[in-house]
């Protein structure tokens, strides 16, 4: 890994980043860039796929809002070789989702230059929009705080629940090519960048960026502290959830207001199937089947299979759940889907000794096995 501290020559942090991205786009390292850009409406940031460097204006790599999980977009762009390299600016949960999608062959890692930006927390899009309309600059407010320590949400808002318990406020260059550090950095004066050795060499040889090997000692320390606090918060949330949802009654209460819109599945970066079994002919039942089930039980909830939908989704992807909380954002009924997945995932991931998003080299647990394992967990000990 190589590092560099750039003293801002431009007016501000965003302009310096824009200048860096402009040089990157002009180089042969990428043919396009995917960067969060202010919408025409002005109250939101969405990922824009940018070819023309002039349109890098109004981008903000740290806008604290995530209307879509970028890994989903990147899967659309690279599930087949796109024919050129795409530089993608993502937050840690999006980068970790990319690692999982690479294992499922839903992205082409070789087509990507992944730029991970330290994440200071995100607001729900409607909350973010409200703050902007009230005259705030949420990205700038958080960046100023991040120099000194943990970021607090605006007094009139709160971060997304997933962000409050996220143990990955920052990444290193093990699964991404470039890291833009914000924690502990005086972003009024400096831009801090880390890059893998290969990427650093590529960037320097093309004069995109010079690596002066200056480090930011505050960042590492601060990230470790924040991580510790988040783990404590996470264990609290998971513990509360466990004591609330620990029976079929708890599950029924949790899912009482589920609309069966499938939004949690549609917005989940890990739920990658082009055709979900719940939207396939397997679940296109005939009238007499419904009537038969209703006769057996006396009544059935309609539409049918609500609990089964969520239990099946848990089984299919909880091992790879990176906890981005897009399911929470997407749920029109405010069901704490993220807490459900994080709680179930905590136990399941430990059982498989698997940490989603950690490494491209660890196979997805469902695709592999060891000869002697999980005998007790599968309920087979003594047999």
The residue ranges that bind other proteins (CB under 8 A) are 242, 245-248, 250-252, 277, 282, 293, 296-301, 305-308, 311-312, 314-316, 318-319, 343-344, 347-348, 351-352, 365-371, 373-375, 377-380, 383
Minimum gap (Å) between residue 232 Cβ and other proteins: 20
**Among 103, 96, 87, 110, CA closest to 36:** 87
Residue 228 beta carbon to other proteins: minimum distance, rounded to whole angstroms? 24
Q: How far apart are CB 339 and other proteins at their closest, in Å?
A: 12
Give the nearer residue to other proteins in terms of CB position, either 14 or 339: 339
- Least distance to other proteins, CB of residue 310, Å: 10
Given the complex with other proteins, which of 198 and 308 has the nearer CB atom? 308
Task: Give least dist CB 297 to other proteins, A.
Answer: 5
Nearest distance from residue 103's CB to other proteins, in Å? 15
Q: Which is nearer to other proteins, 71 or 317 (CB)?
A: 317
Give the nearer residue to other proteins in terms of CB position, either 266 or 311.
Answer: 311
Cβ–Cβ < 8 Å for 159, 143: no
Task: Phi first, then psi: give them for residue 242, nearest 5 degrees.
Answer: -60, -40
Smallest separation (angstroms) from other proteins to the CB of 332: 20
Looking at the Cβ atoms of 145 and 305, the one nearer to other proteins is 305
Query: For residue 22, what are the CA distances in angstroms to 17, 29, 61, 198, 341?
Result: 8, 12, 13, 20, 39
In whole angstroms, how large is the CA radius of gyration of the chain? 22
Q: Burial of 139 by CB count in 10 Å (0-12 exposed, 13-18 middle, 19+ buried)?
A: buried
List own/partner pairs for 150-159 with CB under 8 A and 24 or more apart: 150/225, 150/226, 150/229, 151/120, 151/121, 153/121, 153/123, 154/123, 156/131, 157/123, 157/127, 157/130, 157/131, 158/123, 158/127, 159/64, 159/121, 159/122, 159/123
Q: Which is nearer to other proteins, 230 or 310 (CB)?
A: 310
Do 185 and 169 contact (CB within 8 A), yes or no? no
Given the DSSP bridges, would you call strands 86-90 and 45-50 parallel, antiparallel or unpaired? unpaired
* 22/312 with CB nearer other proteins: 312
């Amino acid at each position: 890994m190589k590092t560099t501290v750039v003293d801002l020559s431009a007016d501000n942090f965003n302009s310096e980043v824009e200048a860096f991205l402009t040089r990157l786009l002009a180089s042969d390292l990428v043919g396009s860039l995917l960067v969060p850009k202010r919408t025409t409406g002005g109250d939101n940031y969405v990922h824009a796929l940018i070819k023309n460097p002039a349109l890098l204006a109004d981008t903000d790599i740290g806008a604290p809002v995530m209307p879509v999980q970028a890994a989903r977009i990147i899967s659309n762009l690279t599930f087949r070789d796109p024919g050129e390299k795409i530089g993608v600016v993502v937050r840690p949960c999006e980068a970790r989702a990319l690692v999982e999608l690479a294992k499922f062959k839903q992205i082409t890692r070789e087509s990507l230059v992944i730029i991970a930006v330290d994440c200071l927390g995100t607001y729900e899009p409607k909350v973010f929009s409200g703050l902007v309309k009230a005259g705030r600059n949420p990205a700038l407010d958080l960046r100023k705080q991040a120099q000194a320590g943990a970021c607090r949400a605006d007094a009139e808002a709160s971060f997304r629940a997933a962000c409050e318990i996220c143990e990955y406020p920052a990444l290193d260059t093990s699964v991404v090519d470039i890291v833009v550090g914000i924690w502990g950095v005086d972003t009024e004066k400096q831009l801090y960048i880390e890059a893998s050795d290969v990427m650093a060499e590529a960037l320097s040889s093309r004069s995109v960026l010079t690596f002066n090997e200056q480090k930011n000692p505050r960042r590492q320390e601060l990230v470790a502290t924040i991580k510790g606090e988040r783990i404590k918060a996470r264990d609290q949330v998971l513990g509360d959830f466990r004591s609330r949802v620990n029976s079929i009654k708890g599950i029924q209460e949790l899912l009482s207001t589920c609309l069966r819109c499938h939004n949690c599945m549609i917005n989940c970066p890990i739920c990658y199937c082009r055709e979900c079994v719940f939207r396939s002919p397997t679940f296109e039942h005939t009238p007499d089947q419904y009537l038969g089930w209703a006769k057996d039980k006396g009544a059935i909830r309609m539409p049918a299979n609500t609990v089964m939908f969520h239990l099946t989704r848990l089984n299919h992807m909880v091992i790879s759940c990176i906890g981005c909380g897009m399911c929470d954002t997407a749920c029109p009924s405010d069901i704490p889907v993220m807490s459900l997945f994080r709680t179930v995932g905590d136990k399941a991931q430990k059982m498989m000794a698997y940490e989603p998003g950690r490494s491209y080299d660890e196979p997805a647990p469902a695709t592999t096995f060891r000869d002697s394992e999980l005998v007790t967990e599968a309920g087979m000990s003594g047999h």
